Structure formats: structure tokens, C-alpha cells
Amino acid sequence: MGRRTEANRLAHKKKVDLKKKREQDAATTRKEKLKAIQQQFSQQQKPETEK
């Protein structure tokens, strides 16, 4: 076993947590962008359907 298993374990946990947080943030940002695009598209389509 390594000499600093506790430190290595904590460092690995920190990396994993950061990666997970980045993925969640990216997914949230992606959803927000898609929602904005859908709203913009629906606003553009409204005038065409009212004609």
C-alpha cells in the first residue's frame, strides 16, 4: 500500500467531485441554452401561425 493512502484517497475524491460538478454544470447550461432556443423559435413561429 502507498504511504499516503488517506491523502491519495482525498485527492482522488476531490478530482471526482470536481468532474461530477463540471458535468452537472455543463448539463444545466446546455438545458438553459436549449430552452432559450426553443422559446425564440416558438416566438418566431407565433406570427406565422396567426396570419
Question: Number of structural domains, the chain?
Answer: 1
Rounded to two decimals, the pTM is 0.66
Amino acid 44: pLDDT: 87
Q: Which residue has the higher pLDDT, 49 or 11?
A: 11
pLDDT tens digit sequence for 24-43: 999 999 999 999 999 999 99
DSSP string, 24-38: HHHHHHHHHHHHHHH
Domain that holds residue 9: 1-51
In angstroms, the Cα distances linking 3 to 7, 10, 20, 38 are: 9, 14, 27, 54
Mean of all residue pLDDT scores within the chain: 91
Per-residue confidence at 1, pLDDT binned at 50, 70, 90?
low
